[in-house]
Each structure stands twice: as structure tokens, then as C-alpha cells.
Amino acid sequence: MRTPLSVLLKEKGGTTHSITPHASGLECATTMNKFGIGALLVIENEKLVGIISERDLIRKLLGSNIDPKSVKVAELMTKEPLTVLPSTTVQEAMKLVTEKRFRHLPVVENGKLLGMISIGDLTRWVMLQQEYEIAALTGYIQGGNN
């Protein structure tokens, strides 16, 4: 759990999906659906300016008279999203997403976007670490009985 997020990003690969703030809400939803993802980073001039999630789309579009084809991502996104450093540990990130009720954390260092970690990435990592620990303990116990 003291593993830095840089390790998860390396394992995950560097692919991040993004959209511009000038894209429509419909284009945003279509992109998320196409890639099977729950959030997009909003990038303008190679700079992270926001994040937009499925929750943002649902909360702001449902029950309103906003046309998804004409509304811009800039009107729907979370501006200046909370970011984490690659040195942030899995444990710290888990605490953050739990307390803040986020599902996605952009990882940024010196103003450069390195990737995004999801709650699923964190949970998967914790489960793998627990499996390794269980296997090691099982081997130790079984080895001690011979």
C-alpha cells in the first residue's frame, strides 16, 4: 500500500483519454461509451483544465432543458480538478478517493499530466497485493509443516 502511483501508471500504461472544453456533451458521452470509461480529462493547449465524469453528465443533463448536442464540456466539467503527484502512495490515494468521493485522480508532476488513476486501478492493485501476501504466508505456513 506504500507503493507510489508511478508504479501503477507504469503497469497500467500511458493511455489517457481526453476531450477539449469546446466539445459537446453528446460528444463527451459518445467518447466515454466508445472507450468504456467513466471520465475524460479536459485538455486545452496541452494543459489540464478540468475533468468530466459520467456523474457530471448525469447530474447536469438529466432533469434540465440542456441540449447535450449544444452544451459544451466547459459548462459541465469540474474545473481545476484535484491532482496527485506520482509519489503519492496507493494508501494516500485510496484515502483521498474515499473521503472526497472521487472515482478518478489525474496524476501531474511539474505541470505535466502523466496519466489518470481510477478507483478501479487502486482496488485492483490492493487485491493483487493481498493475493501475493496470502500466497507468501501460505507458502511459509506449509513450508513450516514439512
Overall domain count for the chain = 1
Q: Residue 109: which domain range?
A: 5-144
Q: Which residues contact 52 (CB under 8 A, 6 or more apart)?
A: 19, 28, 39, 40, 42, 73, 76, 77, 78
Q: What is the pLDDT along the chain (146 residues), one digit of tens a residue?
A: 689 999 999 988 878 999 999 999 999 999 999 999 999 999 999 899 999 999 999 988 887 888 999 999 999 999 999 999 999 999 999 999 999 999 999 999 998 999 999 999 999 988 888 887 888 888 888 886 55
CATH number at residue 33: 3.10.580.10
Burial class (CB in 10 A: 0-12, 13-18, 19+), 6: middle
DSSP state of 111: T
Question: Is the pTM value of this prediction over 0.75?
Answer: yes
